[in-house]
Amino acid sequence: MSFRYAEFNILETSWLPQSWDEQILEVSTLYSKCIHLDGKSSTSREPVDTQGVNCNVVSGEIVYQKIRWLYDLYRNQFAELAFRVNEGEILLSTEINTGVNINVISGMGARYEWHIDTNPLTGILFVTSHSDEDGGQLLFKTLSGDHLVTPKSGMFILFDAREIPHTVLPLKKEIRRISIPMNYYTPEFTLEKVRPADLSSYCLPSN
């Protein structure tokens, strides 16, 4: 499978409300829950001897309740971008918690596990900006080599990583990295058809 990837600067649009990043930071601080990724899920590509990693997640239900504009962007403007990238019909998640979440990793050495996705198109809106010296880059292992994405606030990316292992590299400083993953589907690959049952008990979807 070739690696489908696109990125957009959402700060050039009028989609985000004033102080959007501060709103997300506040909700993340108040409502995120720590989840341990043990490397045993069907989508994990962690080494067999992994100790696992921790990340904090704000559920889709909280996003819907506390940041309704973000949920609406997932359903409308971001879905339109997904339609353009897919060049065909896009479906939203039929489960509120598997549509859009907020992911937070923080502290020296914090990272996100190696994994693949099951949905045909994943979106990520970056909330915090980071330099290469900060760490926290999103790394894809494609057939043609590494594809590295450095988070920049307001950047929205779309990609198909069903066969492309990817991870968030360890943070190199005592900082917090916040991103917002979104899952999109197609008529051929709906949530009910492609999402393994073990993911619901393992963790919320994230990148």
Q: List pLDDT tens digits, range 119-150.
A: 999 999 999 999 999 999 999 999 999 999 99
Q: Which residue has the tokens 């045909």?
A: 120
Q: What DSSP state is assigned to residue 169?
A: P
User: For the chain, what is the total number of helices (H) and then of strands (E)?
Assistant: 6, 12
Whole-model pTM: value is 0.95
d(CA 77, CA 79): 5
Domain range summary for the chain, segments of one domain joined by +: 4-194
User: What is the chain's percent helix, strand, coil content, to nearest 5?
Assistant: 25, 30, 40
The dotted CATH code for 4-194 is 2.60.120.620
DSSP assignments along 49-107, one per residue: T---EEEEEE-HHHHHHH-HHHHHHHHTHHHHHHHHHHTS--EE-SSGGGTB-EEEEES
pLDDT digits (tens, 9 = 90+) for 163-205: 999 999 999 999 999 999 999 999 999 999 999 888 765 544 4
